[in-house]
Chain A
Amino acid sequence: MSTSLRSLLLAAVLAFPVDARGHDLWLEPQGDALVLRYGHRGGDLLDLDGSKIKIVRCRRETGPVTDVRAVSKSGPKELRTPARCDVASAFLDGGYWSLTPDGEKNLPKDKVPDAVRSWQSKQFAKWVDARSKVAGAVLGDELEVVPASDLSRVHQGEKATFRVLWQGKPVAGAVLAVDHKPLGETDAAGECRVKVRAPDVESVSVTLKRPLGGPEADTLTAEASLTWEVAR
């Protein structure tokens, strides 16, 4: 049976654009602080509006998940939180966006008379200490990437499995990407398995779209990233 239509099916799915804007939001430790940045990892940083960062969650090996946003300090291109966490995440509420003939506006559809389409943007960034016992902990973000493999044993060039949760439940059909290259879709268990490419710090991201159909936006576009230090 000389056919390879399984790959064709996958390819048909992956041929669609995942994130037209292609900007990363990622969280990583720096000394005794967690730093949230926006832009292109390993490249240019973009301005980060600290007022849009609503939650910074922190989980240590022991103890509950706490919101440490109140102690964060906002700079032009970063949000710095003095906290040592084994697992941490940040939520950026991008608000409502409308596309008009003159370009994108950060306003809901009902405030933009000539809106062609509109969406609500939510971005989540997560960091895990791969060696921590709680590296696989769920923090409770609306969209969250959870390592299903022991990342402390996964080296560059090896594969790891990730589970994607939407509102706490595994979600099928979410597209997982590394460096903006879509690599696969989550299955019914919300899992997708991809290869670690970076030698030092790696980040995988996932995008999920949901219809809203309300007066403010047509769709919800949620993005989440997971960043960790690759085993050496």
Chain B
Amino acid sequence: MAGPEGPGAAIETTSPIPLPQGAVFFMVKSEYVPFRQFDFAQPVNKVYSLFDTLVAGYGITPWLSGYLFLPYNVKSQDGVGTNVGLGDPGLYVNFAFKYDEGFRLVPAKESLDELMDWHFSVFGYATVPMGPTTAATPALDWYPPDMQTGFGSLSFQVGVAVAKQLSADFTWLADASYQYFLPHTYPFTRYQFGAESRVNTAVAYRAVASPGFRLDVAGELNLLNLQRDQERNEASVMEPLLASGGTVLYAGLGVRAYIGRFSAALAARTSFARWLNEGAYQQGSEGLEWVRVALTLSYVLPL
């Protein structure tokens, strides 16, 4: 008897496959990001960030899924402190369709043959500024904007995703997205995080399949482009900041195990190419991590 079949999923790359209608989905994700330390940044090197996220999803229709994200962040910096707090909750909506003798919405049930069709999705994500932005250090200074756990203003993300099951064991996935942050006025400054563009691609390989159990291995490439942050200058004009922005290419490897309706994934990725605007001064930026390690646990409950 064959084990679980169907397309695989990666860790960072978005899958366009929607939740079944009426299914309730829960996930916990934790990503640990230790940063490289540099002499120029002494004695205030950023040490690590920890991004924890609770996710609840629901299959609204066979082709439309909605998810609520609740982040909880930890950001630690030498000589400054460790800021712990809620991030900005977000709403994610995934509109899924496929190509089967023409484009069509994903139906309520798909056979294994249909799961091998090209699947696509258009997704949108918006965060609501509910996380704190005025947390203070032990020295009673405010943490700078990038050390606060909330963004302080709305952010919007739109993207597209595609997946194709190449064979019983191999699945290819890719996505592209753009996220824009509105500016926020802090008690101490006005600041706007730079927009983020992402292009991800992955191949998932079904390494083990036995009744009720499946283990996938996924290799990924993640391209991230960060525009410069902007901050109000002395003339009250928003000015692009030095030592911010750039482009980073990550390579990652992960494993995902399915046991019944439960899934667990562990993945690590690291930047192997980076084109930072002023890399020598961007300690604590994306691209200058040692590694990004992510653990996810998820469970789906059909109603």
Q: Which chain A residues have a beta carbon within 8 Å of chain B's beta carbons? A: 1-12, 14-15, 17, 159, 176, 181, 183-188, 192-195
- CB neighbours (8 Å) of B18 from chain A are 6
Contact assessment for A2 and B13 in the assembled complex, using a CB-CB cutoff below 8 Å: yes
Alpha-carbon separation in the docked complex, A192 to B20 (Å): 16
Knowing that A1-B92, A10-B112 touch, tell me 20 more A-B residue pairs with CB under 8 angstroms: A1-B15, A1-B67, A3-B9, A3-B27, A5-B261, A6-B6, A6-B110, A7-B4, A7-B115, A8-B263, A9-B20, A9-B302, A10-B5, A10-B115, A12-B261, A14-B5, A15-B211, A159-B114, A183-B112, A194-B114
Chain B residue nearest to A18 (CB atoms) is B1
The answer to whether the Cβ of B108 comes within 8 Å of any Cβ in the partner chain is yes
Q: Are A184 and B9 in contact (CB under 8 A)?
A: no
What residues on A are CB-neighbors of B17 within 8 Å? 3-4, 6-7
**Chain A residues in 8 Å Cβ range of B258:** 8, 11
Interface flag for B130 (CB, 8 Å): no
B236 in contact (CB, < 8 A): no
Instruction: Check B9 against A2 for contact (C-beta < 8 Å).
Output: yes
Question: 3 closest pairs, A vs B, by CB?
Answer: A184-B111, A7-B6, A11-B4
User: A15-B1, A15-B3, A159-B100 are contacts. A6–B19 as well, Cβ < 8 Å?
Assistant: yes
- Pick 24 A–B contacts, CB within 8 A, sort by A: A2-B13, A2-B296, A3-B15, A3-B17, A3-B298, A4-B7, A5-B261, A6-B18, A6-B19, A6-B20, A6-B110, A8-B261, A9-B261, A10-B112, A10-B115, A11-B4, A159-B101, A159-B113, A185-B111, A192-B109, A192-B111, A193-B100, A193-B111, A194-B113
* Residue from B5, B11, B13, B214 whose CB has the most chain A CB atoms within 10 Å: B5
Main secondary structure of the interface of A (DSSP, over half): mixed
A184→B6 contact, CB < 8 A: no
Tell me the residues in window 172-221 of chain B with beta carbons closer than 8 Å to chain A beta carbons: 211-212, 214
Q: B residues 3-32 with Cβ under 8 Å of A?
A: 3-15, 17-20, 23, 25, 27
B138 at interface by CB-CB < 8 Å: no
Judge if B154 is at the interface, Cβ distance under 8 Å. Answer: no
Q: Are A176 and B111 in contact (CB under 8 A)?
A: yes
Number of interface residues of B (CB under 8 A): 52
The reply to whether A4 and B108 contact each other, CB–CB distance below 8 Å, is no
The reply to whether A1 and B14 form a contact with Cβ atoms under 8 Å apart is: yes
Residues on the B chain within 8 Å of A194, using CB: 111, 113-114
Once the chains bind, are B212 and A15 in contact (CB under 8 Å)?
Answer: yes
Most buried by B among A1, A159, A181, A192: A1
Q: Is the CB of A4 within 8 A of B8?
A: yes
With A12-B260, A187-B108, A195-B113 as known contacts, state yes or no: A5 contacts B212, CB within 8 Å.
Answer: no
Q: Which B residues are CB-close (under 8 A) to A195?
A: 113
Q: Is B246 an interface residue (CB 8 A)?
A: no
Interface contact A3-B114, CB-CB below 8 Å: no
- For B212, the chain A residues whose CB sits under 8 A away are 12, 15
Nearest-CB distance from B269 to chain A (Å)?
12
Q: Is the CB of A2 within 8 A of B14?
A: yes
CA distance A173 to B101 in the complex (A): 25
